[in-house]
Structure 1
Amino acid sequence: MLKKLIGIGLLLTLLIVAISTLGKSEKTYPDEEPVNLQTLNEIPEQPPLDTYGMNVKLYDVTEDQIRRNESLSLILNRHGVGPETIHNIQQEARGKVNLNRMIPGQRYRIYKNDDGTATTFVWHRSATDYTTFSWGDDLRIENGSIPERVSVASVSGTIRSSLANAIQAKGVSQRLVVELANIYAWTVDFYSLRQGDNFKAIYENRHVEDTYIGIGRIKAAEFEHRGNVRRAYYFEYGDQAGYFDADGNSMRRTMMRVPFEYNPRISSHFSHNRLHPILNQRRPHYGTDYAAPTGTPILAAGDGVVTEAQYRGGNGNIVQIRHNSVYRTAYLHMSRFAPGIRPGVTVQQGQVIGYVGQTGLATGPHLCYRLYKNNTPINSVTYDFPPSDGLSPEYMDQFLVRVERLDAMLDELGSSEADRLAMY
C-alpha cells in the first residue's frame, strides 16, 4: 500500500513539472535581435506637407492671383527673383508648359525661406492642374494635378418660360443647360420647348478639396416635351462612351439639328415663299436663320469635308460641308472662318468652323443654316435625322443593368420637386 502511494506521488510530481515547463517554454530563432522600444519611439515625425508636397514649416507662403498684364517674369521679379534665374526658368519651361497661357484670375503660390528668398513658384493652370517651378539647389519644373472629389446630385422641374430660367430657379449652374443641350442636340429643338414641359437630370458635382469647381458629367436625363418622354443614359463601353436611349440607340444623330452649343432664337424659318427683308421680294428661303451676337461660334453639324470656304456675294462668308453621299450643309453670313477651315479639310461634328456675322445681304448678325439631302434643300428644324450607330449586342446586358438602376433614380424625382436632391 505504501509503495502504491509513493508511486502515485511521483506521477503527480512529474505531471506538475511537465505542465510548469510547458507554460514557460519559449521558441527562439537564430540571429533574432530583441526589439528596442526606445528606437521605435525615436522614429522622426513626418513633416507636414501641403497639397503640392511642400513642407509648410520651412517656408513663408504667399498666395495670390495673376493680375491683368502680369507675366511670370513680372511676378517673380516682384518677389525678388533675379533676371538670370528668371531667364533660366523661362528656357527650362519650353516644351513643358506654355507660359503664354497665364491669364488674370489664376491662382499662384510663392514659397520663401526664412531669409525671405523665394525658391518655389506654384501656378494653378486650372482648378485641378498646376505647375511647380523650383530653383533652390537645382532648377526643376514639374506638372501636377489635384484629385477631384465627385458627388452626385439631381434636379427636376417644369418649364415656365425657358429651361435656363427653370434650372436657375433651382440654384443649379447654368452649365447644366449647356450639357443637356449637347445631349439632346439631335433629338430636341430647345427653341420649341414650351410651358409645361418637364425635365430631370442626375449629374455630377466636382470638388477640389473643399472648393466646388462646377458641373461634371450628366449620368442620366429625361425630357418630357409635348407629351413625348425621352430619356438618355451615359454609358462607357470598351474604350468609348456616349449617351443612349433605353434600347441602346445613340442619342447622337448623323447631323446636329442646331449648329450651336446652345439654341439661339430663330429669326426666320425655312420657307418656299418668304418676303426678303432687304430685297422686298417673294422668294424661297431654303434655310433657318438663327439670330446670335457677332462672334458666336458656329459648329459643324456633322463629320465631313469642307467643300467651300469663301466670300460669295449675298451669302457673305460661307462654308459648305459634304458629310456623305446624301447630306451636305451650308453656313452663311459668317463674320470670319475658324482657323484652318478651308476646302479639303476634314471636320468633326461639333467642331467650330466659323463665327456669326452679317456679311453679304443681312440686316443683323445671324447664321443662315441650310441642310441638303441628295442636293434638295430640306427643313432642318422638322427633319427626323437617322441615328448614329447604337451599342453592339456584346454590351447590351451590362447597359441594361445600368439603365435599370438609373431609371429607379429618375423615377424617384418628381417634376415639381422644389430642391435638388443629393443622391450620394
Structure 2
Amino acid sequence: MPMQVRTPLIFTIVCVAVFAIAIFLVGYSNGSVIKDNEDPFLITLESVKEIEPLPARDRYGFEKGIYEFEEHEIKKNESLYIILRRYDISPQQIYQIQQESKGVANLNRMVPGQRYRVYFKDNQPVSFVWHQELTRYITVDWQNEYRVGTGEIPIRFVTKEASGIIRSSLYETIVAQGHSPYLGSELAGVFAWQVDFFALRSGDHFKVIYEERYAGDEFVGIGDVKAAEFQHRGETHQAFFLNHEERRGYFDEDGNSLEKELLKAPFRYSQRVSSGFSRNRFHPILKRNRPHYGTDYAAPTGTPILAVGEGIVTEAQRRGGNGNIVQIRHSGSYRTAYLHMNGFAPGIRKGVKVEQGQVIGYVGQTGLATGPHLCYRMYVNDRPINSVSADLPASESLEESLMPDFQRVVDRYRSLLDALNFNEKVAGLEENINSERASL
C-alpha cells in the first residue's frame, strides 16, 4: 500500500529551509557573515543613548524656563474679572472662562487674602492659578483652549523635636526657640486633661517629637504629635500617639487613655484666672459677700469659648445677671455653664448636640460683669464643684489586642524622648526619621 504524504507538513519544511538559506546568503553579502556584535538590533553599551531628562516643572506643572509668573494676594472687593482685566484679558475671554468653569469650580467666591499667580509665556498672560486653600487650587488656562481644572499640592511631613524650660509661658518658650506657636496649641491639646496650662510655673519643662506639614517648601501647619513629656509641679506626664484603624489617640506608657470626658478649661489657649471658685466671695458689683460657684477667666472680648465635653445644650439665652449663658448636659451626672458671653456661635441653641472642643460662643461682659471674662461653672448631680481641682472621668484604656502595636510605639519614641535635653536652643531630628511615620 503506497505511503500517504502530508502535503501541509512538507510545505512547511520547505518554507523553513528556503528562509534559512536566504538568511545565510545575505550574511555572505559583501564577502563576510554578520557577526553577533554587528547585529543592528542588538543593544550594546556603545549603542545605548542616554534618555534626556524631563524638563523641570513647578508645583503647578508649568515648565521652568519657559513660563514666568507674578504672585499676589486677593484684595478686598477684587474678583476674577477685575484681576484678569488688569492683565488685558478681554471681557469676552473672561466670559468664556466662566462658562468653562461651570461644574468644575466657582470662580465667584474669591476671599481677600487668598493667593493667586498669573503665568506669562513670551510676555503674554496665559494662565491663572487661584488658591482656594493652602493646598487646593484652581487652574484657568487660555493659551490654546479654554480650560479650568483643580489640583492639590502634596503634603510633605518632616519630623521635628523640641524641648524647653518654661520661664514665662509655654508659647513664649516655643516661639523663642524658632518653632511655630501652633506647636504650643497642639501640646496643650495632648495634655489638656493632665496639666493645668492656666497655672504653669517657671521651671516646668517639656519634650516633644512632632510632625510639621509642608506644601512644597511652604510650612502649612503642625501634624501629629508623636510623643511628648511634660513635667508640671514636679509631676511628669508622658504621652504616646497610637494611629491604628481600630483606635486613635494619646495614651500613657501603660495604655491608659490621656483623654477625659471633659476638658480642664473651655479655651484653646491659656487664659488668666481672675477669680476662683469660692463659697464666700465679695461681689464687685453687688458689694456684698456671696458664693461664687465658678472660675472666672479674663480674656479679650470675642475669644472663642469651647464646649469642654460632648453633650446637649439645655440653655442658650440671655438671662439676667448671668448675661448670655449656655448650659450643656454631659454624659453621666456632669453639667457645665458658660456665663457673660458676648454672643453665641452659629447653630448654638437649646436641644442641639455639641462635640468636645466645639466653639459655642465668645467672651464678653454681658450681665453683671465689670470687664470681659468668662464665668465657667461645673456641676455634678446638679451640685457646683471646683472645675480646676475636679477629678474628671477618663476615657477607656487600650484594648488588650492593641497593646503589642502600642508597645512598639512606646519603645521607639521613649528612647528618643530620653535623648532630648533642655538646652534653650534645640536642633531638629534628621529627616530620615520620617521613615518611622510610615511604619507606625
TM-score band, normalised by shorter chain: 0.7 to 0.9
- Amino acid of the residue matched to residue 353 of structure 1? I
Give the match's secondary structure for 1:333: strand
Alignment of 1:23-42 (within 5 A): 34=41
Corresponding residue for 2:429? Answer: 423
- Amino acid of the residue matched to residue 76 of structure 1? L
Corresponding residue for 1:198? Answer: 205
Aligned pair partner of 2:62 in 54, 73, 78: 54
Alignment of 1:382-397 (within 5 A): 382-397=389-404
| Distance change >3 Å, CA 114–CA 201, structure 1 → 2 | same
Equivalents in 1 of 2:172, 2:53: separation in Å? 54
Quick check: 2:344–2:362 contact (8 Å CA) kept in 1?
yes
State the shift of 1:343 in Å. Answer: 1.0
- Amino acid of the residue matched to residue 420 of structure 1? V
Q: TM-score, normalised by structure 1?
A: 0.85
Quick check: 2:302–2:362 contact (8 Å CA) kept in 1?
yes
Q: C-alpha offsets along residues 271-322 of structure 1, whole Å, 9 cap, x if unaligned? A: 1111111101111111111111111111111111111111111111111111
Equivalents in 2 of 1:342, 1:212: separation in Å? 38
| Distance change >3 Å, CA 197–CA 41, structure 1 → 2 | closer
Q: C-alpha offsets along residues 123-168 of structure 1, whole Å, 9 cap, x if unaligned? A: 1234332221223444433222222332222111212222222223
The farther-off stretch of 274-283 and 51-60 is 51-60
- Amino acid of the residue matched to residue 93 of structure 2? T
Alignment of 1:264-303 (within 5 A): 264-303=271-310
> Are residue 261 (structure 1) and residue 265 (structure 2) matched?
no
> Are residue 346 (structure 1) and residue 346 (structure 2) matched?
no
Q: C-alpha offsets along residues 316-348 of structure 1, whole Å, 9 cap, x if unaligned? A: 111111112411111111111111111111111
Alignment of 1:322-401 (within 5 A): 322-401=329-408
- Amino acid of the residue matched to residue 421 of structure 1? A
Give the match's secondary structure for 2:401: helix
Corresponding residue for 2:420? Answer: 413
Q: How many residues align?
A: 396
Equivalents in 2 of 1:204, 1:42: separation in Å? 39
Corresponding residue for 2:249? Answer: 242
Alignment of 1:113-128 (within 5 A): 113-114=121-122, 116=124, 118-128=125-135
Quick check: 2:343–2:361 contact (8 Å CA) kept in 1?
yes
State the shift of 1:190 in Å. Answer: 0.7
Q: C-alpha offsets along residues 24-58 of structure 1, whole Å, 9 cap, x if unaligned? A: 9989xxxx993699998698874443221223455
Equivalents in 2 of 1:70, 1:171: separation in Å? 35
> Are residue 182 (structure 1) and residue 204 (structure 2) matched?
no
> Are residue 67 (structure 1) and residue 75 (structure 2) matched?
yes
The farther-off stretch of 75-84 and 118-127 is 118-127
Equivalents in 1 of 2:201, 2:359: separation in Å? 29
Equivalents in 2 of 1:390, 1:152: separation in Å? 27
- Amino acid of the residue matched to residue 82 of structure 1? S
The farther-off stretch of 152-161 and 364-373 is 152-161
Give the match's secondary structure for 1:157: strand
| Distance change >3 Å, CA 420–CA 45, structure 1 → 2 | closer
Give the match's secondary structure for 1:394: helix
State the shift of 1:269 in Å. Answer: 0.6
| Distance change >3 Å, CA 369–CA 42, structure 1 → 2 | closer
- Amino acid of the residue matched to residue 293 of structure 1? P
Q: Percent identity?
A: 53
Aligned pair partner of 1:222 in 224, 229, 238: 229
State the shift of 1:405 in Å. Answer: 1.0
The farther-off stretch of 255-264 and 161-170 is 161-170
State the shift of 1:85 in Å. Answer: 3.3
Give the match's secondary structure for 1:397: helix
Give the match's secondary structure for 1:423: coil
- Amino acid of the residue matched to residue 63 of structure 2? N
| Distance change >3 Å, CA 101–CA 40, structure 1 → 2 | farther
Quick check: 2:239–2:251 contact (8 Å CA) kept in 1?
yes
| Distance change >3 Å, CA 402–CA 195, structure 1 → 2 | same
Aligned pair partner of 1:251 in 258, 270, 275: 258
Which ranges of structure 1 fall in alignment gaps of 5 or more residues?
1-23
CA RMSD after TM alignment: 2.8
| Distance change >3 Å, CA 311–CA 394, structure 1 → 2 | same
Corresponding residue for 2:86? Answer: 78
- Amino acid of the residue matched to residue 400 of structure 1? Q
Quick check: 2:80–2:108 contact (8 Å CA) kept in 1?
no
The farther-off stretch of 36-45 and 261-270 is 36-45
- Amino acid of the residue matched to residue 114 of structure 2? Q
Q: C-alpha offsets along residues 364-410 of structure 1, whole Å, 9 cap, x if unaligned? A: 11111111111111111000111112222221110111111111001
Q: TM-score, normalised by structure 2?
A: 0.82
Equivalents in 1 of 2:405, 2:331: separation in Å? 33
Quick check: 1:153–1:420 contact (8 Å CA) kept in 2?
no
| Distance change >3 Å, CA 33–CA 395, structure 1 → 2 | farther
The farther-off stretch of 388-397 and 104-113 is 104-113
